[in-house]
Amino acid sequence: MNALQATNRNFIRASRLLGLDSKLERSLLIPFREIKVECTIPKDDGTLVSYVGFRVQHDNARGPMKGGIRYHPEVDPDEVNALAQLMTWKTAVANIPYGGAKGGIGCNPRELSMSEQERLTRVFTQRIHDLIGINRDVPAPDMGTNAQTMAWIFDEYSKFHGHSPAIVTGKPIDLGGSLGREAATGLGVVFGTEALLAEYGKSISNMKFVIQGFGNVGSYAAKFIYERGGKVVAVSDISGAIKNPNGIDIPALLKHKKGNASLKEFQGGDVMDPKDLLVHECDVLIPCALGGVLNKENAGGVKAKFIVEAANHPTDPEADEILSKKGVIILPDIYANSGGVTVSYFEWVQNIQGFMWEEETVNKVLHKYMKKAFDDIKAMCKIHDCNLRMGAFTLGVNRVARATMLRGWEG
């Protein structure tokens, strides 16, 4: 089952629990607008090359649409559609005034020089500048893009519309980016984990954690877990996996990784097969990498009591069923990794006000939002007698459906 089918399935289940009108249900599923553009640029050697860029704008009932732009060779329209829809529900769960969008360009950024990436980004912005906007659609970085990409979009967009720092989030600090944005997703994951564990009378200290993926989200999550006294007993990334039953020294590992060294070369742990990582002995498993990593093949072997979905869609529906039967508690992605988009919202607010916050303020307000969202999800679980995933989906879908009806929806 692909990402779009799984997202649609969760949406339809939530819609049935809420008793939504079938015409409204269909209307909420269909994207507001899909944009596809040709981007032709001269390469450094003078030859011309064309790429296809696109943007799916899913829903704007609760506010401007929000979502990442990815540069990746296999940009699958179905996946982008699913991720745009997921952003609609995610922003509603976090209770920030946005709808969902997602976009990208079908290219391999590793094969492009910096100047080629810049030309491509600027041409893409020229093609879509009149369809995005501070109060219409606000892009952000995603796979294969970063703060520099956002700086180019901001600059190109501003040539048409005047100085507009709020057009994108995830910008460099010097151009109006928010303090705390880089760590936000990882910190949000930890705030969510704390809220979940507190429900069961537990806390992070002395719990054993396994983290799959040691990029931005995984490394920050590991850092904050370590600082709170949690034991990270195994981690993995693209290069491999390591374990240490007494807990890995995360500050030392972060320092090791800063030198671009491979995870496997780290002295503070034993090399292990990355395939065994997800079924490694632990209390809390945090997948921070790709989608679909927990499936019907490996779900039966999972030993964790809690799974915190820091990645998008890491658990496929078959695995979901198996894990539920085993009594594993899953904190769903549309809540667990919403720290990033929440601090993106804070960045947008700061840009519109022209007044920047201290990092301490950013983190304090993020904690408040994450705690409130968790309490709201638990309330929905009680009403509908459902698990946390359905609690989150019913919460998000209900908020979007209500906004749609209140604005005047003719079914």
pLDDT digits (tens, 9 = 90+) for 102-114: 999 999 999 999 9
What's the gap between Cα 347 and its chain centre? 16
CB 335 within 8 A of CB 93: yes
Q: Which two tokens stand for residue 28?
A: 């909420």
CB 277 within 8 A of CB 234: yes
Element (H, E) at 100: strand 99-105
Nearest to 154 by CA among 105, 112, 180, 121: 121
Assign 115 a pLDDT band (cuts: 50, 70, 90).
very high
pLDDT digits (tens, 9 = 90+) for 121-176: 999 999 999 999 999 999 999 888 999 999 999 999 999 999 999 999 999 999 99
pLDDT digits (tens, 9 = 90+) for 307-324: 999 998 899 888 999 999
Give me the mean pLDDT over the 213-236 stretch.
95
CB 212 within 8 A of CB 175: no
Nearest to 59 by CA among 28, 36, 37: 28
H helices of 129-215, in order, are: 147-161, 184-199
| Amino acid in the structure at residue 386 | C
- The span from the CA of 218 to the CA of 229, in Å, is 17
102 is catalytic: yes
pLDDT digits (tens, 9 = 90+) for 23-61: 999 999 999 999 999 999 999 999 999 999 999 999 999
- The span from the CA of 241 to the CA of 369, in Å, is 33
Give me the mean pLDDT over the 230-241 stretch.
93
Count of C-beta atoms within a 10 Å radius of residue 176: 22
- The span from the CA of 15 to the CA of 137, in Å, is 26
Q: In the predicted model, what is the mean pLDDT of the chain?
A: 94
Q: Is the pLDDT of residue 411 over 60?
A: no
Paired strand residues for 249: none
> What angle, rounded to 10 degrees, do the helices at 3-18 and 22-29 form?
150
What's the gap between Cα 12 and its chain centre? 21
Q: Is the pLDDT of residue 226 over 90?
A: yes
DSSP state at residue 261: -
Q: Which residue has the tokens 């080629």?
A: 116
What's the gap between Cα 142 and its chain centre? 9
**pLDDT recorded at residue 261:** 79
Q: Which two tokens stand for residue 108?
A: 């391999």
User: Which range, of 113-127, 192-206, 267-281, 370-384, averages the lowest pLDDT?
Assistant: 267-281
Give me the mean pLDDT over the 96-100 stretch.
98
Q: How many CA atoms within 13 Å lie on the side-chain side of 232?
A: 32
Q: Please give the C-alpha separations between residue 406 and each of 335, 351, 409, in angstroms, as whole numbers.
A: 25, 29, 7
Give me the mean pLDDT over the 250-260 stretch.
89
| Amino acid in the structure at residue 299 | A
- The span from the CA of 150 to the CA of 386, in Å, is 39
CB 357 within 8 A of CB 346: yes
Assign 1 a pLDDT band (cuts: 50, 70, 90).
low
- The span from the CA of 391 to the CA of 61, in Å, is 21
pTM above 0.85, yes or no: yes
Q: Please give the C-alpha separations between residue 311 and each of 47, 128, 200, in angstroms, as whole numbers.
A: 38, 28, 23
Per annotation, catalytic residue among 102, 171, 208, 223: 102
Phi (first) and psi of residue 41, to 5 degrees: -135, 155
CB 237 within 8 A of CB 215: yes
DSSP state at residue 323: H
Q: Give the three-state DSSP class for 285.
A: strand
Contacts 24+ apart (CB under 8 A), 23-30: 23/411, 24/401, 24/404, 24/405, 24/409, 24/411, 27/404, 27/409, 27/411, 28/59, 28/397, 28/400, 28/401, 28/404, 29/85
Nearest to 81 by CA among 120, 147, 30, 40: 30
